[in-house]
Chain A
């Protein structure tokens, strides 16, 4: 799968789960794994850090 921002190859680990965040090694953009069915993976833009994020 390629990065929607810069077209670099995204390495998605086999054990990655839905909801996990992956980062593009080239441009640093963050993506969330939206769906995963075997080797078919869908990603979406990850949310940015919000004012209320944390513990």
Chain B
């Protein structure tokens, strides 16, 4: 019998599904709240009950990332690894790595001040989509279709001026059907996919009300998802793709702490079960 530790900061359906599948497989599951866990530079693995392997499932990206660093410091196997979480949590780092590995991805422009971003936008032309480099669920993702919108968005960023507001990540607006595709990969293998259909607006995030619909994994999807997963460093990931009218599939995001409760209801394969099995096999290797 093995023991899986699920680290959380907000116990959601996904974490309970993982716990249930671990128990169903005959293993122990330890649920650990990152918010009340204390670690120091003398901490050792034996000071805690992290089991054989940890699944880091914090909803707060920075909390999860720093917790993962602490776990790796104590030589505790954790999924996903720190390097994977670090890259996937930052859209700019992720995009650069996708491109470096020849994975089709939308053309993206990086500027490091509002003045420079404005000059670039005027040169490239409208529309472009601005995205915060850190953040999920479509927050702060906006199509900039004209000068007035650009001025408004950039002015707000200059006022709020958080460190990440100084990084301008502007992406081409892909001509596509009003949906995108989420592929869940476990150990570089695509296990399930869904269309996320826009509920009327520009965004297709399930968290914003987009309708999920099961999607058959094509060979093209499989190849691209596998390549994207390998490029990021593997583990358990959510690969988001759009269907570009001219180029076919393009990967616009890779998610580190993938949410799967909607897809799990309609997928043929048991997603949380496969995650647990993968985690235990990962530590046995």
Contacts and interface: CB of A to CB of B under 8 A. Distances in A.
Contact of A18 (B33, B137, B258): B33
* Secondary structure of the A contact surface, majority rule: loop
Nearest to A17: B11
Contact of B10 (A21, A51, A52, A55): A21
Interface string B124-137: 00000000101111
A37 B59 CA distance: 25
B62 interface: yes
Interface residues of B, number: 28
B136 A55 contact: yes
B11 A19 contact: yes
A50 B61 CA distance: 9
B10 A54 contact: no
Interface string B1-45: 000000011110001100000000000000101000000000000
Contacts of B204: none
Contacts of B132: 51
B33 A19 contact: yes
A47 B10 contact: yes
A47 B63 CA distance: 13
10 contacts: A19-B9, A47-B9, A52-B61, A53-B136, A54-B135, A54-B137, A54-B207, A55-B238, A55-B255, A55-B257
Interface of A: 17-21, 32, 46-47, 50-55
Interface of B: 8-11, 15-16, 31, 33, 59-63, 89, 132, 134-137, 139, 162, 207, 238, 255-259
Given A18-B33, A52-B89, 8 more contacts: A19-B33, A20-B11, A51-B135, A51-B139, A52-B134, A54-B59, A54-B135, A54-B255
